Amino acid sequence: MAQQGVEADLHLVLREELTARNWGVRQLSDAVGVQFGVARRWLVDDPAERVVPLPATLLRIADVFDLDDVEAFRHAGYLPAVKSEDASQHPHEEEIQFLLRRLRRTLRNIPESRWAMSASLVALDLDQLQVLLDRLEDFL
């Protein structure tokens, strides 16, 4: 059970991941290896009815959705959220994690036959992003 007073937003992360894959609760339950009703209760809007996956199940969820284990435990409320005053925590950490999950999903879905070209394009885009950021810095 998640700690009292610790914000658990795993249901939001799960919905984001399901939407990104065009999955429903059935695909979630099959991928994680739990009954449909159990997976459905992870996504319930009402916090009084929502349940948090057990730690072992949470590790399977993290594996299925390529989530960082520690972040998954934070989203589930097992660990406290990192305060933004922490020097190691970026003020936009949640957005960074969302974009990283999106990038991983995209990269993993590239067919082998298109991998070389796609990897080159991603590297080029990242290089161009850095060039644009450097140029913007000159104007600020």
Number of domains composing the chain: 2
Is 102 in the same domain as 65?
Answer: no
Is 67 in the same domain as 117?
Answer: no
Is 56 in the same domain as 100?
Answer: no
Is 65 in the same domain as 113?
Answer: no
Query: pLDDT tens digits, residue range 60-106?
Result: 999 999 888 998 999 999 998 766 555 467 888 878 888 888 888 88
The whole-chain average pLDDT of the chain stands at 87
Assigned domain for 33 exists: yes
Assigned domain for 5 exists: no
Is 107 in the same domain as 67?
Answer: no
Residue 132 tokens read as: 């644009």
Domain final position from 45, 76, 107 = 76
pLDDT at position 13 over 80 = yes
Confidence at 3, pLDDT banded by 50, 70, 90:
very low
Assigned domain for 120 exists: yes
**% pLDDT > 90, the chain:** 55
49-61: average pLDDT? 95
Q: Is 124 exposed, middle or buried (0-12, 13-18, 19+ CB in 10 A)?
A: exposed
Query: pTM surpassing 0.85?
Result: no
Is 16 in the same domain as 54?
Answer: yes
Assigned domain for 87 exists: no
CATH code of the domain containing 42: 1.10.260.40
Q: Residue 86 has what pLDDT? A: 52
pLDDT at position 11 over 80 = yes
Assigned domain for 81 exists: no
Assigned domain for 71 exists: yes
Task: Give alpha helix (H) positions in the chain.
Answer: 10-21, 25-32, 36-42, 55-64, 69-76, 93-108, 115-139
pLDDT at position 5 over 50 = no
Residue 56 structural domain: 10-76
